[in-house]
Amino acid sequence: MDSDCGRKGRQLSPELGGGGDYHYHHLNPNQRHLFFNHHLLKVVVMCAMVTLTSFMLYQASESPFQILRRSIYSSFSFSSHAYHSVCNSSSRNYNEELCLIRVLEKSAMADKTVIITALNEAWIEPDSIFDLFLESFKIGNQTNFLIKHLLVVTLDQKAFRHCQVVLKLNCYFLKTEGVNFSVEAHFMTQDYLKMMWRRMDFLRYVLELGYNFVFTDADIMWFRNPFPHFYSDTNFQISCDRFWGNPIDLDNSPNGGFNYVKSTNQTIAFYKFWYESRELYPGIHDQDVLNMIKHSPVIKEIGLEIKFLDTAYFGGFCQPKELDSVCTMHANCCAGLDNKIHDIKILLDDWRYYLSLPEDVRKNRPPSWSVPQSCGPASFGQHTPRKKNVDARKILGNFL
Ligand SMILES: *[C@@H]1O[C@H](CO)[C@@H](O)[C@H](O)[C@H]1NC(C)=O
Ligand SMILES: *[C@@H]1O[C@H](CO)[C@@H](O)[C@H](O)[C@H]1NC(C)=O
Ligand SMILES: *[C@@H]1O[C@H](CO)[C@@H](O)[C@H](O)[C@H]1NC(C)=O
Ligand SMILES: *[C@@H]1O[C@H](CO)[C@@H](O)[C@H](O)[C@H]1NC(C)=O
C-alpha cells in the first residue's frame, strides 16, 4: 500500500489546471470555495482516488495482519503463550505480535474496546505527568475501573519494564527502527515525526485486529467516565482545542490527543488514507494533516462521518468549561513541560475541592477552574508563536 502519491502530488500540484475536478459536483458551496483556493486539496483528491482504488483492492484480499493473526492462532497453544511469557522481553518466548494480541485480550472491555496511551523513559520519573494521569483515574468519579482497560504503549525498554514491574499495568513495547525513544525527541524534529506516524500505523493495526480504542495523551486527566458521552452514530470521534457547537462542523479544530475509534472497514480505510497523506504534506504532524484532509471527499467515499467532541465534556486549557459536565481535561494550549505539570497539579486540586463540596453547593454555586495559570498565553512568552509551535517543548511521549 505504499503508493507514491506524495511524490506524484508534489510534482503535479503547480500545473494542476482544470483537471482533477472529478469530485467538484459532490461538494457543497463551502467546500467548493475551499476547492478553488487550495490546490493541494486537488492533489489530495487525486491521491485519494489512487488510495481508494488500492484500498478496494486491498479489502478484497485478506490483510497481512489477518493472515498473521490466523497463523499465530493456529501455530501456538493459548495457555503456553500467556501474556507474562510472550511479553517478557528477557524471556526466549518473547514475541512482539503475540504480545500485542495477548495484551489487547487482557485489557479490552467486553465490547473489545481498549484505552491506549503512551509512555517513554522521560515520563517515568516520580511526579511525572504519567503519575498525575494515573492519579486522575483514582480521584475521578467512578473512573478507577477504567485503569484495567488501559493499554500502555511503551517506547523504550526502561519504560516497558517500569510499566510491567512497578506500575503493573497492561504494557506493550512498540519498537521503531532507527529511533532511540528513551531520549527526549523535541517537537517537530525528524524523530518526533517518525514516532508520530509510527503511532498512526500502530493504531491502524489495532483496528485491523478488531479492537476499538480510545486514544488518550497522558496529559489528559480523566475525571468522569467518558463512554456515556460519546456519540453512538459515528465510528470516528475526536476531541477539539475549540468546539464551535456543531459536532459535524469540519471547522472545529480537532486535537489528536484524544479520540475514540471503532474498528470498521471505514475507519481502517481512513487510517490508511490519513497515514498515506503524510507523504503529501511532509514535515507536519498527524493533527495538521488531519486538518488538511478533513474536507476531502475521500472521507465521504469511505463512508465515514467524523464527529467532533464537545469541550463541555472533553475539555482543555484552550477552552475550559464547567466542572459540572467535564469528563476529561487536556493540558493543551500550553508551552513547556514544567508549566504543564504545574497546572495539571492545580487541575487535580480543583477537582478534589469540587468533590469535597456539599452536593447542593456543587449544583447551585459550582466553582470554576483556576487553570490555566502557567499554561495558556502566558506560557508562550511575549511573542505568540504560530499555532504549530504551541507545544514546542512537548516531549514525544506526550504525543504518542
Ligand atoms: C469489510 O471488509 C471485509 C473484507 O475485507 C468484508 O468481508 C466485509 O463484508 C466488510 N464489511 C462491511 C460491513 O462492509
Ligand atoms: C522474565 O523472564 C526472565 C528470564 O526467564 C525471568 O528471570 C524474569 O523473572 C521474567 N520477568 C517477569 C516480569 O516475569
Ligand atoms: C458521580 O457518579 C454518580 C453515579 O453516576 C452520580 O450520582 C454523582 O452525581 C456523580 N458525582 C459527580 C460529582 O459527578
Ligand atoms: C538510547 O539513549 C539512552 C540515553 O542516552 C542510552 O542510555 C541508550 O544506550 C540508547 N540506546 C540505544 C539503543 O542507542
Q: What is the pTM of this model?
A: 0.77
Do residue 48 and residue 100 come from a single domain?
no
Question: How much is the pLDDT for 376?
Answer: 87
Domain that holds residue 178: 71-379
Check residue 186 and report its DSSP letter.
B
Residue for cell digits 497539579? 345
* Assigned domain for 23 exists: yes
CA–CA gap between residue 98 and residue 57 (Å, rounded)? 27
Do residue 336 and residue 190 come from a single domain?
yes
* Assigned domain for 79 exists: yes
Do residue 24 and residue 101 come from a single domain?
no
Q: Is the CB of residue 332 less than 8 Å from the CB of residue 317?
A: yes
Report the separation in Å between the CA atom of 72 and the middle of ligand 2, taken as the mean of its atom positions.
23
C-beta of 63 in contact with ligand 1 (< 6 A): no
- Secondary structure of the chain: what % helix, strand, coil (to 5)? 50, 15, 40
C-beta of 142 in contact with ligand 3 (< 6 A): yes
**Spans of the chain, pLDDT less than 70:** 1-81, 180-189, 381-400
Residues 357-379: pLDDT tens digits? 999 999 899 899 999 999 988 78
**Backbone phi, then psi, for 339, in 5-degree steps?**
-60, -40
Report the separation in Å between the CA atom of 263 and the middle of ligand 1, taken as the mean of its atom positions.
11
Question: How much is the pLDDT for 199?
Answer: 86
Nearest CA residue ID for atom 13, ligand 1:
265
Query: In whole numbers, what is the pLDDT of the chain averaged over residues?
Result: 78
CATH code for position 305: 3.90.550.10
Pick the ligand that lies closest to the CA of residue 91. Answer: 2
Report the separation in Å between the CA atom of 46 and the middle of ligand 1, taken as the mean of its atom positions.
25
SS3 label, residue 202: helix
Q: Which residues contact 83 (CB under 8 A, 6 or more apart)?
A: 99, 102, 103, 106
* Assigned domain for 166 exists: yes
* Assigned domain for 316 exists: yes
**Backbone phi, then psi, for 77, in 5-degree steps?**
-85, 145
Q: Is the CB of residue 24 less than 8 Å from the CB of residue 35?
A: yes
Nearest CA residue ID for atom 3, ligand 1:
59
Q: Alpha helix locations (H) across the chain?
A: 5-12, 29-37, 39-60, 64-75, 83-86, 96-107, 129-139, 157-161, 190-208, 265-277, 286-293, 297-302, 337-356, 359-364, 396-399
Pocket test for ligand 3, best of 136, 139, 141, 143 (most atoms within 8 A of CB): 141
Residues 33-57: pLDDT tens digits? 444 444 444 444 444 544 444 444 4
C-beta of 266 in contact with ligand 1 (< 6 A): no
Q: H-helix or E-strand containing 173?
A: strand 170-173
* Assigned domain for 395 exists: no
C-beta of 66 in contact with ligand 1 (< 6 A): no
